Amino acid sequence: MPLKNLNSDQLSAVKSNQGHNLIIASAGTGKTSTIVGRIAYLIQSGVAPERILLLTFTNKAAAEMIVRVAKFFGKDVAKRIEAGTFHAVSYRWLKKGKRNIALKTPKELKLLLKTLYDKRNFLNFSEEKTKPYVYSYLYDLYSLYLNSTNVESFNEWLSEKSPEHEIYLDIYNDILDEYRELKAEYGYANFDDLLIFAKDEIRDSKISFDEILVDEYQDTNPLQNSLINTLEPNSLFCVGDYDQSIYGFNGSDISIISSFKDVYINSKIFTLKKNYRSTALILQLANDVIKSNLRVYPKELEVVRRDSNIPPRLLTCADVKEQYRAVTAKIIESNTPKEEIAVIFRNNATADGVEAILRENNIPSKRKGSLSFFESKEIKLFLDIATLLMNPKDMMAFIHIFEYIKGVGSAISKELFDALSLLGDGDIIRGLFRPNDIANPFKSKKNFQLGLFDDYFVLEKASRFKNIIDDDSFLKNPILKHPKLTSDAVKFIYNFYILYKHINSKNPTRIVEFINNSHLFKDIKDTITTKRATLKSGEVDNELKKEADLKLDIKINILKDIAKNYDDLNRFLNALILTNSEMSEGSGVNLLTVHSSKGLEFKEVFVVDLMEGRFPNHKLISKGSSLDEERRLFYVAVTRAKDRLYLSFAKYDKFRNIDYEPSCFLNEAKLI
DNA sequence: ACTACGCCCCTTTTT
DNA sequence: GGGGCGTAGT
């Protein structure tokens, strides 16, 4: 019986009538059990699983809840529930609605925005006190705008937020207009677009549910909230904790949870008070700190646990590295299984330091596999080659590949892309194999404008490459007339041509194998590993080269393993972007940022780098965040601990030569 | 004008 | 350790 183990507070929430229900669930009060219980209750009451929508903050959280539902009703029933993050669920709907989506990472789209930004002239404003936003910040701001408001225009929003930037509004808008146009032309979408497009899909396909459950409701932002509203739910079951709202930088808006009772007049509010997770002294500490924040809903936590009560400990160290050593020493002497220990920090950069010291002491650790894998050149190249197969309009992917040609940079790559696009009516693969009959495909507007076209651009004959490549149909392609192409470049393009000519499957695993065996990839792979094995003297070290080759092959095999889980290439590629940050590498002690620790619990928790400036992060506060939000972050971090909590700080950072004061939260926690 | 390369800066948090 | 930027070379 799924409801048997619930306490009375949880049970009354779980059994509430359909309608607008808000469940205030402090840390460790059995939020997940309550959501799972509610789903069970709905199914038992006769609601069809596919009429239930469960929105969570990570896909992992959704998967865990579904597993728990499956224990009661079986896998077949559980998997009919629509569950996932706002983004994952939106993507599924768009797929079903046959809206083709080519997801791009923010990094990639920032690069696109940069090329547009760089064309603009800010010189007239060089005397201004206020400098224009750099392109990457403009991207972030625009994204924040999309997530933060549904009513204002970007101009209104920005003028309100930063009036001193009004002088630049025209330029910003001009850049963003072109950016939106290009995004549409190349078929790109980012995380924000998923939600925006999903709202249309909901209306067009009349998507609806009998009940929508929202986990981590305190971190919902106005865009996500508008998506919920678009679904016009008759019944809502929102679970959250005001004190754990930590995504302000992503537009999450506390007023959504705090105004729930006003927005939905007949709403019911339930409060889960019993904390099962942490010992009394850990909770005491958490509450001592969080009480400095303004209360919206009263908080009266009841401690359930009486089995153990080890006081939280402060570790004070002279230097940052010494601090990590002290933490490591505690981990070594602890009997707690490594998987039940977490080191939690405010900034990702801390992870490197902690990881290094742990490794010195042969303690295995686990951290989010972010940069290393998907950001590596070889994997990116791989994905770009595959992406182009799915989306032959993808300018960015094309340019990334062609930039590997010596002597060809982004400019010539773009000229070649535009030419192929013209030859193939927007489809560069078609332009490659069945080019339109255009003698000169290179009439780039850009060159005309600069008046340089004629000087620089005298078409050559493609036949000049006859003795290198024996393939008449390839040599017929007009792009080979480009005067800047060397014979090496043409060999490269021929490899590219052959790859796409022979690729005959859209099965992700087969594609990975096929690309891996292609001449194109082999050659670039060699370039990459040779560079990695090149010493400062310029010599190539054979040992290093072998090692680099091996490492690269291992990565390809990891990619192959991931590919096995998918049978649709487009889904595979998009899933890598949607979920890549949720994949973690290794096993053992967990290394987490406060943000990614949300929703998790560990027997033993170390919160490190608790210095004024770093945590709380002063720079952010000065940029418009708040001390309250930092305090909530601290609250989230310490409430992850079940049995033992260590807080640590260092007085000095030798590496950066900075003296530190202890974090104000240590004071509020009555530890100093 | 475009590309390659070396030097200097900084490094928030996530889908 | 990566990205931005200035400089030299084509």
Model confidence at A582, pLDDT cuts 50, 70, 90, reads: low
Task: Write out which nucleotides of chain C lie closer than 7 A to a protein Cβ.
Answer: 2-5
pLDDT of residue A456: 54
Task: Tell me which nucleotides of strand B come within 7 A of a protein CB.
Answer: 1-4, 11-15
- Please check whether strand B approaches the CB of A271 to within 7 Å: no
Q: Which residue has the tokens 């003698």?
A: A439
Could you tell me how far CA A667 lies from the centroid of its own chain? 34
**Which residue type does A79 have?**
K
C-alpha to C-alpha distance for A216 and A598, rounded to whole angstroms = 9
Minimum CA–C1' distance nucleotide for A376: C2
- pTM, whole model, 2 decimals? 0.89
Of A36-40, A107-111, A426-430, A551-555, the range with the lowest mean pLDDT is: A551-555
Q: A311 near A590, Cβ under 8 Å?
A: no
- Å from A58 (CA) to B5 (C1')? 42
Q: For residues A442 and A422, is the Cβ–Cβ distance under 8 A? A: no
Contact (CB, 8 A) for A460 and A483: yes
Tokens of A182: 């290009």
- And the tokens for A211? 């009940």
Give CA–CA dist A107/A385, Å, rounded. Answer: 18
Express each pLDDT in A177-215 by its tens digit.
Answer: 999 999 998 889 999 999 999 999 999 999 999 999 999
pLDDT digits (tens, 9 = 90+) for A444-464: 544 444 434 444 567 788 888
Q: Å between A658 CA and B7 C1'?
A: 24
User: What's the CA–C1' distance between A291 and C3, in Å?
Assistant: 41
Residue A451: what pLDDT? 39
- pLDDT value, residue A658: 82
- Among candidate residues A335, A340, A399, A417, the one with its CA nearest the CA of residue A587: A340
pLDDT in tens, A68-77: 999 999 999 9
CB–CB of A381/A521 below 8 Å?
A: yes
Return the nearest residue to B11, CA–C1': A349
Tokens in use for A437? 């009959």
For the CA of A407 and the C1' of C10, the distance in angstroms is 9
DSSP letters along A169-197, please? HHHHHHHHHHHHHHHHHHTEE-HHHHHHH
Distance A536 CA to B5 C1' (A): 14
Biggest CA-to-CA distance, chain A: 85
User: According to the model, what pLDDT value does residue A449 have?
Assistant: 42
Residue A372 has pLDDT above 70, yes or no: no
In this prediction, residue A510 carries a pLDDT of 93
Task: Give the nearest nucleotide to A413, CA to C1'.
Answer: B2
Q: Which residues contact A330 (CB under 8 A, 6 or more apart)?
A: A315, A606, A646
Any atom of strand B under 7 A from CB of A249? yes
CA–C1' span, A372 to C2, in Å? 12
CA A519 / C1′ C10 distance in Å: 28
SS3 call for A142: helix
The alpha carbon of A271 is separated from its chain's Cα centroid by a whole number of angstroms, namely 32
| Separation between the CA of A624 and the C1’ of B13 (whole angstroms) | 14
Cβ of A106 < 7 Å from strand B? yes
User: Measuring from the CA of residue A375 to each C1', which nucleotide is nearest?
Assistant: C2
Contact between residue A275 and residue A29 where contact means Cβ atoms under 8 Å apart: yes
Among A353-357, A556-560, A663-667, top mean pLDDT goes to: A663-667
Average pLDDT for A363-385: 80
Our measurement of CA A115 to C1' C5, in angstroms, reads: 15
Closest CA to A355 of A324, A326, A376, A331: A324
Query: Which nucleotide shows the minimum CA-to-C1' distance to residue A114?
Result: C4
Contact between the CB of A590 and strand B at under 7 Å: no
**Nucleotide closest to residue A414 (CA–C1'):** B2
Chain A 298..327 CB hits on strand B (< 7 A):
none
Q: Which of residues 170-199 of A touch strand B (CB under 7 A)?
A: 191
- A172 CA vs B11 C1’ separation (Å): 26
**Which protein residues, judged by their CB atom, are less than 7 Å from any atom of strand C?**
A 107, 114, 134, 136, 371, 375
A527 CB inside 7 Å of strand B: no
Q: Hey, which residues does A650 pair with through a beta bridge?
A: A317
Q: Which of the pair, A655 or A665, is modelled with greater confidence?
A: A665
**What is the CA A180 to C1' C2 distance in angstroms?**
27
Helices (H), A80-134: 86-96, 106-119
Q: Over the stretch A399-432, which tens digit does the pLDDT of each residue have? A: 999 999 988 888 889 889 999 999 999 999 999 9
pLDDT digits (tens, 9 = 90+) for A507-519: 999 999 999 999 9
Estimate in Å the CA A133 to C1' B8 gap, whole number.
Answer: 21
Whole-number Å distance, CA A589 to C1' B8? 36
Both structure tokens of A66: 């579904």
Q: Which nucleotide is nearest to A110 (CA to C1')?
A: C3
In the predicted model, what is the mean pLDDT of residues A28-35?
A: 93
Does any strand B atom come closer than 7 Å to the Cβ of A656? yes
Closest CA to A212 of A31, A86, A61: A86
CA A425 to chain centroid, in Å, comes to 33
